[in-house]
Chains A and B, each alone.
Chain A
């Protein structure tokens, strides 16, 4: 029954690592380069910012999901998940370079050009003499000063960087030594980082995404992003497990049992919990029907966004819910990987749906009621930001390529599973039933 850790073949990315690094790197450079080129030549700078933010948030949430998964395995002293943990640790290390990827946005805000992306960064809204003066926003001005906002961002990345470096470093060090003290250290620090994770993850999405509409607020927003992050991460986990196994790696260690559990987590967090939170947020706002809250959903129910909302309802919840509720689909490796691939696409659509829609300020200014606003939007034929642009694709390919390249580089330097972990044999022989 038991398989000793010494009998496990030490799988590595090997020759795949430089190829993934090169391929991802080419995609990254080409994607980001062409984005800047299209932005400069086409004069689509503000569009570039939105597309870049959507792609950045997409890659960020996948990595944040990975960090949460790694932390929770240590907090619960989980045995079953050990063979999946190295992938999760490696994906989470993306949080270190994502700080650099965030720098352009932070620099823009610090230089006082932030209003291209964030309405609160427009200094004239705080000026009582200006026609853009917004008294409600002045109450939030303390929170939305460029310096404080940037200091917060630095704090988030410092916490995430420290957590991922500690987890990855200790785990890789244990590969060589097999010393159980590394496990103890990871278990000791995980609760601390989990508390900080909840704080930083919530505030980060409030700062970077919810503040796109600074007057709107939802206390569900942080939890919604948490659920969305896990959808992104567990999708990536299922797909990459399948691809790695097809390439002949991790053959004997990762079994259907692990796929079933990864599928359960994707089903539980990424599909059901996501829908639960999304609906809770929607129902409270719909029921209370308070103008300052409903505007956010009205934007997403007009024009092209109506279809995107429906796509999320059916494509992100209804259909995958029915497909993945059965144990049999979760245990069929290829089927699970295809559904996970679809969920990853849906996760990007979800992020896109959160970042992109916006009501033009002039239409908002001339309307006194939402009825008038809806009428004037429909008369003017404004698309509320719903015009898929080639920049969306180039930014996504660019940041996605960089993420693949750097993950492969990290992963290339170590084993694909934590071979020194004392619970490894428990994980390999793990059975659901």
Chain B
């Protein structure tokens, strides 16, 4: 461990990066860092580690609730679209004045809900699916082409066989000496200070 490099300089950089060898170690480390009260920190693993969210104290996402309302919006818009294009003879503004048209199809009533349900179902699925993917990207801060952790040479092994925990310098509790000694108690195979 390059302790001299860690204590040299005055800048805290991006934060402190600790490297672990096994899922069990990072679980223990995550629990300890969470218990110490840090908020701006994260774990990086080569594959999903079951129970890590719980150990980190990550709060459940509100994504499902938002997706539900996007689905409701999809079903309503699917209905309105068909009502306007098949059963309404009113004028509306849609980048210019457009007029709805009443179509008589095989003697069915103008408002033929059974025939509309497939389209309403599809718009519900479409809106929910796009909302799920889109909001997931937004909540994750993606797309993001650069991250300070890419500066670390050791961090490249996160896609192979190493588990990393980073405490960011912007965390209010971050104190280079105290945070370093906390990480050291967790027996990582390396700790480094990542430049911002």
Measured CB to CB, the residues of A under 8 A from B are 279, 282-283, 286-287, 289, 325-327, 431, 433
Interface size range of chain B in the complex: 10 to 19
Contacts A/B (CB < 8 Å), 11 sampled: A279-B114, A279-B117, A282-B114, A283-B115, A283-B117, A286-B114, A287-B106, A325-B68, A327-B64, A431-B50, A431-B51
B110-123 interface bits toward A, Cβ cutoff 8 Å, 1 = contact, 0 = none: 00001101100000
**Beta-carbon contact of B50 and A283 below 8 Å:** no
Contacts of A279 in B (CB 8 A): 114, 117
With A286-B114, A326-B64, A433-B53 already in contact, 12 other A-B pairs whose C-beta atoms are closer than 8 Å: A279-B114, A279-B117, A282-B114, A283-B114, A283-B118, A287-B106, A289-B106, A325-B68, A327-B64, A431-B50, A431-B51, A433-B50
Mostly, the A contact residues are helix
Mostly, the B contact residues are helix
Bound CA span A273–B35, Å: 44
Least distance between A109 CB and chain B CB atoms (Å):
37
Q: Which residue of B lies closest to A325 (CB)?
A: B68
Chain B 32-74 interface residues, beta-carbon cutoff 8 Å to A: 50-51, 53, 64, 68
A-B contact count (CB 8 A): 19
**Beta-carbon contact of A287 and B115 below 8 Å:** yes
Q: Which residue of A lies closest to B118 (CB)?
A: A283
Q: Which residue of B lies closest to A282 (CB)?
A: B114
Bound CA span A287–B115, Å: 7
Q: Which residue of B lies closest to A431 (CB)?
A: B50
**Beta-carbon contact of B53 and A287 below 8 Å:** no
Contacts of B115 in A (CB 8 A): 283, 287
Q: Which residue of A lies closest to B51 (CB)?
A: A431
Least distance between B31 CB and chain A CB atoms (Å):
14
Contacts of B118 in A (CB 8 A): 283
Chain B 95-119 interface residues, beta-carbon cutoff 8 Å to A: 106, 114-115, 117-118
Contacts of B68 in A (CB 8 A): 325
Least distance between A422 CB and chain B CB atoms (Å):
20
7 tightest A-B contacts by CB? A283-B114, A286-B114, A431-B50, A287-B115, A279-B117, A282-B114, A433-B53
Least distance between B18 CB and chain A CB atoms (Å):
22
Bound CA span A283–B113, Å: 10
Contacts of A286 in B (CB 8 A): 114
Query: Which one of A289, A326, A433 has the greatest number of beta carbons of chain B within 10 Å?
Result: A433
Contacts of A433 in B (CB 8 A): 50, 53
Bound CA span A161–B3, Å: 72
Contacts of B50 in A (CB 8 A): 431, 433
Contacts of A289 in B (CB 8 A): 106
Least distance between B85 CB and chain A CB atoms (Å):
18
Contacts of A431 in B (CB 8 A): 50-51
Least distance between B80 CB and chain A CB atoms (Å):
20
Q: Which residue of B lies closest to A430 (CB)?
A: B50
Bound CA span A282–B68, Å: 27
Q: Which residue of A lies closest to B107 (CB)?
A: A289
Bound CA span A431–B49, Å: 12
Contacts of A326 in B (CB 8 A): 64
Q: Which residue of A lies closest to B65 (CB)?
A: A326
Bound CA span A327–B61, Å: 13
Q: Which residue of A lies closest to B115 (CB)?
A: A287
Bound CA span A286–B113, Å: 11
Least distance between A16 CB and chain B CB atoms (Å):
35
Bound CA span A431–B50, Å: 8
Bound CA span A289–B115, Å: 12
Bound CA span A326–B68, Å: 10
Bound CA span A279–B115, Å: 10
Contacts of A287 in B (CB 8 A): 106, 114-115
Contacts of B114 in A (CB 8 A): 279, 282-283, 286-287
Bound CA span A279–B117, Å: 9
Least distance between B125 CB and chain A CB atoms (Å):
12
Bound CA span A282–B50, Å: 44
Least distance between B111 CB and chain A CB atoms (Å):
14
